[in-house]
Structure 1
Amino acid sequence: MTDKDLTTHCGIYCGDCPRYKARFSDMCADLLQEFETSHFSELAKIIATKNDKFEKYDDMLSLLKTINALKCEAPCRLGGGRGPSCEVIVCNKNRGIEGCWDCNDFEKCGKLDFLKPFCADAPIKNLRAVKKYGMENWAEHREKQYPWM
């Protein structure tokens, strides 16, 4: 996979994204499979009569399934991420541009606001880097995508 493949339209680098790496997702899938194979739900029902935390067993399974579903099977540029209905991808296609860095309005574009809770201003800084260094060379200059990483 090249840096170009891992560069999203909006300034995220898929190689840094936990949804793309998705080790947690694979672990959830393995745990769900183990619960199923071992028929743990039957044991959980019995344990729940003595330990009320097990009354939330089904909620835990639901959460594991939800986490598992977060996994991106491919980088955004190759059909993963938010997919072809993503507002940013649609906008880029309508404008005939490769990514937001080719648009003069990306610095103040509201279509990127959905990223702020997760990435703060990293996508904007990354878009500046793509514009400056090009898609093949920007990644070494990228911002830390998630503030907590």
Structure 2
Amino acid sequence: MQCKATCQEKGGCSIGGNTHDCKALKCIKSKEYHGCWQCSDFDNCDKLKFLKNSYGYVIEDNLKIIKEKGIESVKSRGNKYYAWQRKKDGDVME
């Protein structure tokens, strides 16, 4: 199971081909974050529960790696899946 686009690109979760409301996305937008890794409480966040149910430990592990080592430290298993892998030159993500 892999999404065709990121939640930020679709404005919500696109698991299963339909875009669903995403509480985590609303949260990061309200805090003006680029991603959950910028939040001090992402490992205890109920808003990520549905992703953890689908992807298990991978979500939390990726967020920890990004927080510690930066976004380029997580490599996609697909072809430029993550938003930062598709960013244009000059775009900045923290």
**TM-score, normalised relative to structure 2:** 0.62
Which residue identity lines up with residue 135 of structure 1 in the other structure? I
Unaligned 5+ segments in structure 2 are 14-18, 77-94
**Number of the residue aligned with 1:97:** 33
- Structure number with bigger Rg: 1
Matching of residue 75 in structure 1 with residue 6 in structure 2: yes
Where in structure 1 do 4 or more consecutive aligned residues deviate above 6 Å?
A: none
Change over 3 Å in CA distance of 1:84–1:116 after alignment to 2: closer
Give deviations 1:49-79, integer Å, cap 9, x for gaps: xxxxxxxxxxxxxxxxxxxxxxx3x332321
- Report the structure, 1 or 2, having the larger helix content: 1
Q: 1 CA distance for matches of 2:60 and 2:10?
A: 22
Q: 2 CA distance for matches of 1:118 and 1:87?
A: 16
Q: 1 CA distance for matches of 2:67 and 2:25?
A: 17
Aligned-residue Cα RMSD (Å) equals 2.3
Contact 1:102 1:131 in 2 (8 A): yes
Q: 1 CA distance for matches of 2:20 and 2:56?
A: 23
**Number of the residue aligned with 2:85:** none
* Sequence identity percentage: 34
Higher RCO (CA 8 Å, separation ≥ 6 residues): 1
Deviation at 1:88, TM superposition (A): 0.6
Q: 1 CA distance for matches of 2:20 and 2:53?
A: 22
Matching of residue 113 in structure 1 with residue 44 in structure 2: no
Matching of residue 134 in structure 1 with residue 70 in structure 2: yes
Unaligned 5+ segments in structure 1 are 1-17, 21-71, 141-149
Which residue identity lines up with residue 56 of structure 2 in the other structure? A
